[in-house]
Amino acid sequence: MANAALEIAGLCLTLIGLIGASASTGMPMWRVTAFIGENIIVMETRYEGLWMNCFRQADIRMQCKVYDSLLALPPDLQAARGLMCCSLALAGIGLLISIVGMQCTACIQDNDRAKRLVLIIAGSLIIMGCICCIIPVSWTGHVIIRDFYNPLLIDAQRRELGEALYIGWVSSAFLFAGGCIFICCNVSQDKGPDMYTYARNTPYVAYKPQPLQPVQPLPPQPRSVYQPSVYSYPSRQASIQFSRQPSARSAVAYL
């Protein structure tokens, strides 16, 4: 029951992260015009996103223009587009796969091991989507901060962090939490000993006892008689006999 509740929590976190990543991808507020100075009248605000540029003047609604050519964009913007699209695709596929392997669904029946494997795969895809989301967001933030403190740029060329970057960071955190819940809740169970699972729809079969067969006695085996082995030390006896004979030196000493 607790595992099912964690799966539902992981699904909700992944869904929130996917919605946030989609909003961050479509919003033009990645780079915002920085107003630096003491006596300045704010008349126009410029927003730069992945797909369009927007201008907003005082008391006038926002006007946006989509980029004319993809090849004319800088390489970091093209890479951010591709990574954010990959993030949405991976997180969406992982979300759909996780629904198949949850305990509250009946897509996979009578096979808990397959369900755990499906949830582990879904969690891995969601974490990969989190990585693809946080890389362009963090890289764009790094470039904005680096250019902001660059003394070679004028004030009109400097930008600030937009709302889309903060939404991207928060969405990455939600995706990471959802993917970790799917993986950790099933890897710990998969490492344990395999338990016997029984199908619910299996018919009951009575056990038929088998007749007992008489046990045949084993034939008697002859006993082996232990005979101790006699071991002699010929070299020692020869040395003892040789030492008992009188030598020539002892005879001369006697005389």
| pLDDT per residue as tens digits for the range 121-135 | 999 999 999 999 999
**Residue-level pLDDT at 42:** 59
What sign for the dihedral angle of Cα 138, 141, 143, 146?
A: negative
Is position 35 within any domain?
no
**Residue-level pLDDT at 238:** 47
Is position 22 within any domain?
yes
On whether the pTM is more than 0.85, the answer is no
Is position 140 within any domain?
yes
Is position 144 within any domain?
yes
HSE, CB side, 13 Å, CA atoms: give it for residue 143: 17
Q: What backbone torsions phi and psi does residue 56 show, to the nearest 5 degrees?
A: -140, 120
CA-wise closest residue to 49 among 115, 124, 179, 137? 137
**Residue-level pLDDT at 246:** 52
CATH of the domain at 164: 1.20.140.150
**Residue-level pLDDT at 13:** 93
| CA 50 vs CA 63, 84, 94, 239: distances in Å | 16, 10, 24, 106
**202-224 in b/e burial notation, b at 16+ Cβ within 10 A?**
eeeeeeeeeeeeeeeeeeeeeee
**Residue-level pLDDT at 186:** 78
Separation of alpha carbons 12 and 17, rounded Å: 9
Structure tokens at 91: 């997180």
Is position 20 within any domain?
yes
Separation of alpha carbons 119 and 96, rounded Å: 10
Please check whether residue 62 is in contact with residue 56, taking contact to mean a CB–CB distance below 8 angstroms: yes
**102-119 in b/e burial notation, b at 16+ Cβ within 10 A?**
bbeeeebeeeeeebbebb
**Residue-level pLDDT at 196:** 46
**Residue-level pLDDT at 205:** 66
**Residue-level pLDDT at 4:** 80
Q: What backbone torsions phi and psi does residue 168 show, to the nearest 5 degrees?
A: -65, -40
Give the pLDDT confidence of 101-112 residue by residue, as tens digits.
888 887 777 777
Is position 146 within any domain?
yes
Spans of the chain below 70 pLDDT? 1-2, 34-43, 58-59, 188-207, 215, 222-255
Is position 81 within any domain?
yes
**Residue-level pLDDT at 248:** 52
**Residue-level pLDDT at 129:** 94
Is position 86 within any domain?
yes
Q: What range does the domain containing 169 cover?
A: 2-27+73-190
Q: What is the count of structural domains for the chain?
A: 1
- Listed in order, strand segments (DSSP E) in 67-211 are 159-161
Q: Which residues pair with 55 in a beta bridge?
A: 46, 63
